[in-house]
């Protein structure tokens, strides 16, 4: 089944049940993640970011950058989830193989059926790998921000945090607004 429309702001994040790599500890490597844990989960926000393929060049730079900012997301009551269309076994092998990925503090979701990436509308048409997409989802399960990058260009994690901060104010935020600055009054 082909999907071509990207889910956008104001739409619910799709239902899913997927395997994820959550640890390198033998016997505790895998867990099942579902969308149910995202909705009204202690009023937590979620940032779900996708990369095209494991064992590539740009992807680990992004994954490591997100991992370096895990505490910033935690400070904002936000759960971070990384994802690609590779299997949980490929994710595990990559984490074991790559120095920057061994100590990840967020799950690596495996969308081997490509059903979630397809529903989100982020599958590249020729190779059927996910674009570099980032979704910010509020505690009610509604998508509040979407960003999609070309396969060759890494994203800016600080911009994801800036947008998350702005969304969490629930106020009008001007261009280039950053946390601590004044918001706008209508």
**DSSP letter assigned to residue 7:** P
Structure tokens at 158: 């600080």
The total of other beta-carbon atoms located within 10 Å of residue 34's CB is: 11
Active-site choice (39, 59, 109, 116)? 59
Q: Catalytic site residue 59?
A: yes
Residues in a beta bridge with 148: 133
Q: Determine the straight-line distance between the first and last CA of the chain, rounded to whole angstroms.
A: 44
Using CA atoms, how far apart are residues 43 and 77, in angstroms rounded to an integer?
8
What letters, b where the CB count within 10 A reaches 16 and e where it falls short, cover 147-167?
bbbebeebbebeebbbbbbbb
Give, in degrees to the nearest 5, the angle at Cα 181 between 159 and 134. 20
Spatial neighbors of 59 by CB under 8 A, at least 6 apart, are: 51, 52, 53, 84
Residues carrying an active site annotation:
59
């Amino acid at each position: 089944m082909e999907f071509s429309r990207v889910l956008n702001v104001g739409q619910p994040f799709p239902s899913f049940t997927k395997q994820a790599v959550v640890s390198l500890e033998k016997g505790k490597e895998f867990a099942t993640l579902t969308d149910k844990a995202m909705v009204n989960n202690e009023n937590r926000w979620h940032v779900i970011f996708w990369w095209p393929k494991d064992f590539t060049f740009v992807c680990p730079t992004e994954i490591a950058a997100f991992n370096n900012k895990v505490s910033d997301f935690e400070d904002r009551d936000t759960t971070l989830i990384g994802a690609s269309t590779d299997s949980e076994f490929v994710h595990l092998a990559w984490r074991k193989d790559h120095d920057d990925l061994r100590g990840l503090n967020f799950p690596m979701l495996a969308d081997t059926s490509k059903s979630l990436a397809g529903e989100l509308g982020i599958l590249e048409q020729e190779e059927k790998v996910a674009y570099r997409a980032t979704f910010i989802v509020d505690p009610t399960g509604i998508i509040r921000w979407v960003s999609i990058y070309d396969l060759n260009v890494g994203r800016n994690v600080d911009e994801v945090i800036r947008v998350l901060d702005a969304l969490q104010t629930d106020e009008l935020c001007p261009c280039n607004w950053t946390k601590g600055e004044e918001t706008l009054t209508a």
